[in-house]
Amino acid sequence: MEEKKDFDQVLYLKNQMKYLGFGEDEQLHLDLEKAISSNDQQFEIKTSSDKVLHGKQADFTLKFNKTERGGIFLNSYHAKLTVENEERSHNFWVNRDNNFTAKEAINLLEGRSVKIEFLNPKNQKDATAFVQFDFIQPKTEKGNYYFQNFYENYGVDTAKIIEKADLVFDRQEWKDNAIKSLEKGNIVKVKFKKDDSVIEGKAVLDPQNRNLKLYDNDMNRMNTNKPLEGLDQDHKHEKNNVKEQSIKR
């Protein structure tokens, strides 16, 4: 029975890492098994991701803890995004529900917004909000960024924003998938109308301004011809007259 318990626990942790977007790399699994068999009560596993914009690097440190009863838990992970001489990093807690995936962590560090679900403490009902990092304020004592939050009453309607941006979809399911992907903070391949023609490009949802940022396939802004920066500086100029709340998470 004890061997079966150990096996189930390892399998659970592997599935948890997969669900969070860290993959099923053989070396990742070997590092996990080696750390579990050690006498260390706390251990870390390092991995990386290629799901970043060109010229950038994303590294993760997964932090585990062993209990006196033999349980092993993934408590948090540290995400670091590097571009040239600049680094951005944040510690993400891992709970049973509503965790940020590795890709969503990258999206946040690259300056984009992610839609989350949470329990509203005022009425104990499920609610949603878009969050993004505040790169202007100094970090917290624990080395984390503060969040800027745009709640439901802020009026971010992704479907309406897409209609306003004249995006073109051949199928309804493609539109639905695009909405979900945009709300995760992803850069999404799209088709949109411009000068009486339909062109292919990419889009990024900007909840703070309730619009889409549209780019060509080389990631040049269509309206300013400004290249998209992975460590987006645009937010530094978008804070006027915005109702927001910064919190620790």
169 and 77 within one domain? no
CA distance linking residue 171 with residue 197, whole number of Å: 19
Query: Is 210 a domain residue?
Result: yes
| Structural domain range at position 212 | 158-233
What pTM did the predictor assign? 0.85
Cα distance between residue 58 and residue 217, in whole Å: 22
DSSP secondary structure code for residue 15 in this structure? H
Q: Do 87 and 187 sit in the same domain of this protein?
A: no
Residue 168 shares a structural domain with residue 106: no
Q: Closest by alpha carbon to 222, among 199, 245, 242? A: 199
Instruction: Note whether residue 240 is domain-resident.
Output: no
Number of domains in the chain: 2
Query: What is the secondary structure of 144-163 as a DSSP string?
Result: -PEEEEEEGGG---HHHHHH
144 belongs to a structural domain: no
161, 181, 182, 192, 210 from 187: Cα distances, Å = 15, 8, 7, 15, 16
Task: Supply the pLDDT for residue 223.
Answer: 60
Specify if 198 maps to a domain.
yes
Pair (104, 162) in one structural domain: no
From CA 193, how far away is CA 126, in angstroms rounded?
36
pLDDT by 10s per residue, the chain, length 249: 444 444 478 999 999 999 999 999 999 999 999 999 999 999 999 999 988 877 889 999 999 999 988 899 999 999 999 988 899 999 999 987 779 999 999 999 999 999 999 888 888 888 999 999 999 999 999 999 999 999 999 999 999 999 998 899 999 999 999 999 999 999 999 999 888 899 999 999 999 999 999 999 988 888 643 444 544 444 444 443 333 334 434
The β-bridge partners of 201 are 190
Q: Which residue has the tokens 């209609």?
A: 163
Q: Which backbone phi and psi does 242 adopt, to 5 degrees?
A: -110, 125
Output the six-digit token pair for 237.
């100029």
Do 99 and 166 belong together in one domain? no
- Quick check: is 103 in a domain? yes
